[in-house]
Amino acid sequence: MRFVGNFGPAGLPSALVLTIDNLGEARALERGTQPSNEPVGNDPSVTAALPWLLDELGARSLSATFFVEAINTELYPDALKEMAARGHEIGLHGWRHEEWTSLSATEEREILTRAVDAFAALSLNAPGFRPPGGELNPRTPALLREAGLRWCSPAGVKAGVRHGLAYVPFGWDFVDAYHLMDSFGALRSSRGDPERALDPGDLADRWEEELADLANTGSLRTLVLHPFLMLDERWAGGVSRLFAFMAELARERRTWVVTGGAFADWLIRKGTALTS
């Protein structure tokens, strides 16, 4: 069944799920690239980029899902509480951004349980999960349900509800890091895109055009942004411009700009899969 022109409670023409990935030093700690002489708990992605990002979202009346590594409950508890206080949703993104497909079943279960408990200790609910690296293991959906989660956001699957779990997927073409970081060059090349990273202004221009097309074609997209990339003033300017355009699309009722959890809840109420 197609939902073109019928997204969300208001039946809007298209939908854009707004998500933010990663926080602080979690990934560097996992990969062993955090300098030993630099204390944790003062990363500029949290102290500089995040306050700016929250203000930009607030100025546009936009709400997002922040997929956060759970170690940040220890490193930046006040930042997580501020996200929630401003009306944003928090989702799980591992403990320290572990490469999810490399984990055993025991490791997966332990990380999910530890993460859920860590957020609960701050009185924060985190009902969704995005696997670091984008890929789920075959056993992951069952472990997510066991941990009490109701939705997930992996790469490249079909949106819908399967076996009691809502899927709100993302595509690499709507991930800022995919286009802007040199380290994604091999992935870009393997997918038929230019290996060279895009200029931030060019990416903002491209995405603004694609968001306009989204509103005209009745499609679903999930946008994935990263706070640490917003430390580049050029990309921060592009993000600000994109937020303004999203807010315009929402005001004009052309696009349902929504958190992942709200979209997942809508899918669950529909009880069927999207075909577009």
Query: DSSP string covering 254-272, please?
Result: S-EEE-HHHHHHHHHHHTS
Q: What is the pLDDT of residue 276?
A: 37
Mean local confidence (pLDDT), 245-262: 97
With contact defined as beta carbons under 8 Å apart, do 208 and 242 qualify?
yes
Is pLDDT of 275 > 70? no
Shortest CA distance to 26 belongs to which of 260, 227, 232, 236?
Answer: 227
Question: Could you read off the pLDDT of 123-174 as tens digits, one per residue?
Answer: 999 999 999 999 999 999 999 999 999 999 999 889 999 988 999 999 999 9
Locus of tokens 């009346």: 61
Share of the chain above pLDDT 70, in %: 96
Section 176-186 average pLDDT: 97
Mean of pLDDT values over 1-20:
83
CA distance 76 to 23: 9
Residue in the block written with tokens 């968001």 = 211
In degrees rounded to 5, what are phi and psi of residue 155? -85, 140
When pLDDT is cut at 50, 70 and 90, the band that residue 187 belongs to is: very high
Please give the Cα distance from 262 to 267 (Å, whole number). 9
Span 178-183, average pLDDT = 97
pLDDT at 4: 52
DSSP-H helix ranges across the chain: 26-31, 44, 50-59, 72-75, 77-85, 105-121, 140-146, 176-180, 185-190, 200-217, 233-251, 260-270
Buried b (16+ CB within 10 A) or exposed e, 75-102: bbeebbeebbeeebbbbbbbbbbbebee
**Pairwise pLDDT comparison (212 vs 3), residue with the higher score:** 212
CA 48/CA 111 separation, integer angstroms: 28
In the predicted structure, residue 19 carries a pLDDT above the cut 80? yes
Question: By CB neighbour count within 10 A (0-12 exposed, 13-18 middle, 19+ buried), where does 265 fall?
Answer: middle
State the Cα–Cα distance between residues 111 and 107, nearest whole angstrom.
Answer: 6
Per-residue confidence (pLDDT) for residue 33, from 0 to 100: 80
User: Is 31 or 79 the better-scoring residue by pLDDT?
Assistant: 79
CA distances from 2 to 110, 122, 160, 165, 171 (A): 38, 40, 11, 19, 19
pLDDT at residue 5 in the model: 59
Q: Decide if 90 contacts 126 (C-beta within 8 A).
A: yes
The string of pLDDT tens digits covering residues 194-216 is 999 999 999 999 999 999 998 88
pLDDT band at 30 (very low <50, low <70, confident <90, very high): confident
